[in-house]
Amino acid sequence: MALKIFLIVIVVIVAFPILWLTLAKLIRKLIHFPAPAFIGHLLDSNYRRKIQPPHKIIQRSGIKEGMNVLEVGCGSGAFTTFVARAVGAKGKVYALDIQPNMLKQLENKLAKPENKDIKNIKMIEGNAYELPFDDNSLDGAYMITVLQEIPDRDRALQQVNRVLKPGGILAITELFPDPDYPWKSTTVKLGNRAGFITDEVSGNFWNYTVRFKKA
């Protein structure tokens, strides 16, 4: 009897997250909206950075010192400060988000003593369809579990293509637990359709980055 109860508990523990994730994915397929600001602190957590280490994302994304890069959908800044330190004083990070409450959380984060040294982040309230940059002006752009939240992904990627310099880098990172998670092949097709050349696909099924270059 005890064994039967134990097995039932195990099945429930395993099945519930799977069912919940399946339901969440179904809802997100039907309705596209950005991650709500009230979960900003959850998104910007050490737990998330354990499963998505910033140094790996930066390496896979081809982000280097001195680059001027755009983060589309920066949210509360889970990775923004890490990228800012990676590009250094000669580089710049443009942190764009459509939600002012997310940018406020990033602003509060930058005001903390441990981040006082960061002077190269510019926050921008805006959407991915109208990027406020000149053509061929940025070295790179990256999105971390963001692209699938954008209803018109083709239009957004075309905008990114417009603002990147020739040879500029676009990196798209996805994580399986995210309800919006797409297959690698889907991400590759979206980038290629927007005129990008696939440069490298790294990571694994659960956590991958596709890096593109502007032709």
pLDDT in tens, 154-180: 999 999 999 999 999 999 999 999 999
State mean pLDDT over 41-66: 93
Which pLDDT value is given to residue 20?
47
CATH of domain 32-214: 3.40.50.150
Q: Is it the case that residue 190 has pLDDT exceeding 90?
A: yes
Strand partners, 212: 170, 198
Question: What integer pLDDT is reported at residue 44 of this predicted model?
Answer: 84
